[in-house]
Homo-oligomer: A and B are copies of this chain.
Amino acid sequence: MNTTESLEKLHRIDREYRCLEKALAVLQWDEETYLPPKGIGERAEQLALLQGLAHQRLVSPETGRLLDELGSTPENPRGDGGLPPLERDFLRVMRRSYDREAKLPEDFVREAARAEGLSQAAWAGARRANDFAAFLPHLSVMVDNARKKARYWGYTDTGDGKGGLYDGLLDIYEPGLGSAEISAIFGPLQERLSAILKDLGSPQDYPFLDQDYDIETQTQFNHYLMDYLGFDRSRGRLDTSAHPFTTSLGSDDVRITTRYFPNNLLSSIFSVIHESGHAFYEMGFPPELQGSCLADGASMAVHESQSRLWENVIGRSRPFWEGLFPALRRYFPRQLGAISAGVFYRAINLPRPTLIRVDADEISYALHIILRFELEKQLIAGELPPEELPRRWREYSRRYLGRESDTDSDGVLQDVHWSMGAFGYFPSYALGNLYSLQFWTQMKKDLPDLESSLAAGRFQPVLSWLSERIYRWGSRLTPPELLLKVTGKKLSPAPFLDYIETKYGEFRTVQ
């Protein structure tokens, strides 16, 4: 077989695999949004069957043979033949998916998918009912399966030469970054952020935030907000789910969700901005990547850099709310009529030791992540039995956040991730913050009018810059390659810490 034919065959396998993954994503989205409660059991069966079929499609011996023929090896995944750069990047990503997936037995893949479906449903119920015990058996299965998965990939409990089991999971989300490297970043970060927090003293109170905000009006505002940001609703939509998420059911079908609380206006809004950041990335891959494995983020942390960039760097900035606040006030005249954009800006940035990660300010957010990082590391290492998790959670909550929640719903049950078996995901958020500030620093250099654009609600310059510098690459580049190409730098917490110090320094004098 010649190279062109091999390549064409490999592309066909990839297209069909991605297509099945998208079909799976439809079933998962439906499970999170509209599935009637009793439908969950059969949905888990359906997901398991489709997951098995997707797995089969990717890991047939043909895939391995084609990758070999095309010169892609685990050590040199892009191959060295005379292929064009796009095809070499394609080989790299296919090699990585294939090597990972082929090591998992199909029975395990199916069984894990079935268990995840049931676990996620059990988590949603347990969270509503504040009933950790109802979730515990599922959590144990999730931990076991995650450990098994890492073992299939060649990681061991003792970590001999390859990092422990947890490193195998971290590698899913941020290739090449093990728990030692992450600890080396998180340790100093935590110290610095704790110092800043302490320095800021007791938070001011903004009682206007604690009023009743009608959910129907919140929903209407969030649709307005999507339009304001430039979210093309002919290519996506907004729904409600227990935990906000973004899912890409096709390059022209990218859906986000949020959730509503009558006494919390900010939660739904910042989830919409966060998820829109993910969605812009997913909608922004160029046509030549669509339908292939290259139509994907560079890594989970880079994906989170996009969501956190929009949520925080843009969405919690002063110019952004100078532009948007008048509209929000129109939706809630009774609650916000007497509030200025400046006061609102300070209120939404106020460092408050909230117990809910997704509602946290930019300083304490990383502390929420570090808490989860420490606990999941222990869970996966087998050092923390799942039944001990709530107690350990409260202990770490006191240690990092200075307080603990009354309920498991607002504590250990608050996040969906572990119920999906997504151990190793959480660090991506904090790493995403670091990336986002490295990108933003470069964007500010390139776009001198950035602030006035934000104030005017013109996001096209930002989206164009992100498109040309980041979206266009899809998953062609590794995270370090992408970072180097965009900023000329390596991963560093410095721009993030500078940003925090500047923002909160000014903030202190304003108050």
Please tell me which one of the listed residues B27, B37, B234 contacts residue A26 in the complex, with CB atoms under 8 A apart: B27
Q: Does A106 contact B (CB under 8 A)?
A: no
Name the residue on B nearest A233 (C-beta): B36
Q: Does A448 contact B (CB under 8 A)?
A: no
Please tell me which one of the listed residues B43, B49, B237 contacts residue A36 in the complex, with CB atoms under 8 A apart: B237
For window 32-85 of chain A, which residues contact chain B by CB distance below 8 Å?
Answer: 34-39, 41-43, 45-46, 49-50, 53
Name the residue on B nearest A49 (C-beta): B19
| A16 contact set on B, CB distance < 8 A | 49
Of the stretches A194-202, A217-225, A249-257, the one at the interface is A249-257
Q: Does A501 contact B (CB under 8 A)?
A: no
For window 219-239 of chain A, which residues contact chain B by CB distance below 8 Å?
Answer: 232-237, 239
For window 1-21 of chain A, which residues contact chain B by CB distance below 8 Å?
Answer: 16, 19-20
- Chain A 90-114, CB-CB to B under 8 Å as 1, else 0, gives 0000000000000000000000000
Are A250 and B22 touching (Cβ within 8 A)?
Answer: no
Q: Does A30 contact B (CB under 8 A)?
A: yes
| A36 contact set on B, CB distance < 8 A | 233-237, 252-253, 255
| A500 contact set on B, CB distance < 8 A | none
| A265 contact set on B, CB distance < 8 A | none
Name the residue on B nearest A38 (C-beta): B252
Please tell me which one of the listed residues B39, B49, B234, B251 contacts residue A37 in the complex, with CB atoms under 8 A apart: B234
What's the Cα separation between A195 and B255 when bound, in Å?
Answer: 55
Please tell me which one of the listed residues B42, B232, B251, B291 contacts residue A253 in the complex, with CB atoms under 8 A apart: B42
Q: Does A497 contact B (CB under 8 A)?
A: no
- Chain A 241-252, CB-CB to B under 8 Å as 1, else 0, gives 000000001111
Are B23 and A253 touching (Cβ within 8 A)?
Answer: no
Are B46 and A23 touching (Cβ within 8 A)?
Answer: yes
What's the Cα separation between A352 and B20 when bound, in Å?
Answer: 48
Name the residue on B nearest A25 (C-beta): B46
| A22 contact set on B, CB distance < 8 A | 42, 46
| A50 contact set on B, CB distance < 8 A | 20, 23
Q: Given A19-B46, A46-B19, A49-B19, decide whether A253 and B35 contact each other with a Cβ distance below 8 A.
A: yes
What's the Cα separation between A444 and B137 when bound, in Å?
Answer: 51
Are A30 and B35 touching (Cβ within 8 A)?
Answer: no
What's the Cα separation between A26 and B26 when bound, in Å?
Answer: 8
What's the Cα separation between A45 and B22 when bound, in Å?
Answer: 10
Which of A34, A39, A239 has the most C-beta atoms of chain B within 10 angstroms of its own C-beta? A39
Are B37 and A30 touching (Cβ within 8 A)?
Answer: no
| A233 contact set on B, CB distance < 8 A | 36
Q: A12: shortest Cβ distance to chain B, in Å?
A: 11
Please tell me which one of the listed residues B20, B237, B251 contacts residue A34 in the complex, with CB atoms under 8 A apart: B237
- Chain A 281-307, CB-CB to B under 8 Å as 1, else 0, gives 000000000010000000000000000
Q: A65: shortest Cβ distance to chain B, in Å?
A: 22
For window 448-497 of chain A, which residues contact chain B by CB distance below 8 Å?
Answer: none
Q: A148: shortest Cβ distance to chain B, in Å?
A: 24
Q: A287: shortest Cβ distance to chain B, in Å?
A: 12
| A232 contact set on B, CB distance < 8 A | 38
What's the Cα separation between A34 and B253 when bound, in Å?
Answer: 10
| A236 contact set on B, CB distance < 8 A | 36
Q: Given A23-B46, A26-B26, decide whether A41 and B237 contact each other with a Cβ distance below 8 A.
A: no
Name the residue on B nearest A290 (C-beta): B42
What's the Cα separation between A232 and B37 when bound, in Å?
Answer: 11
Are A42 and B251 touching (Cβ within 8 A)?
Answer: yes
Please tell me which one of the listed residues B20, B26, B42, B235 contacts residue A30 in the complex, with CB atoms under 8 A apart: B26
Name the residue on B nearest A31 (C-beta): B26
Q: A158: shortest Cβ distance to chain B, in Å?
A: 40
Please tell me which one of the listed residues B45, B249, B250 contacts residue A19 in the complex, with CB atoms under 8 A apart: B45
| A39 contact set on B, CB distance < 8 A | 235, 249-250, 252-253
Which of A26, A45, A239 has the most C-beta atoms of chain B within 10 angstroms of its own C-beta? A26
Top 9 closest A-B pairs, CB basis? A39-B253, A42-B250, A38-B252, A37-B234, A38-B235, A19-B49, A38-B234, A23-B46, A39-B252
Listed by A's residue number, 12 A-B pairs whose Cβ atoms lie within 8 Å are A16-B49, A19-B46, A19-B49, A20-B50, A34-B239, A36-B237, A36-B255, A38-B252, A41-B252, A42-B251, A42-B291, A53-B53
Extra A-B contacts (10), CB below 8 Å, given A35-B253, A38-B232: A26-B27, A34-B34, A36-B233, A36-B235, A39-B249, A39-B250, A39-B252, A41-B252, A42-B250, A42-B253
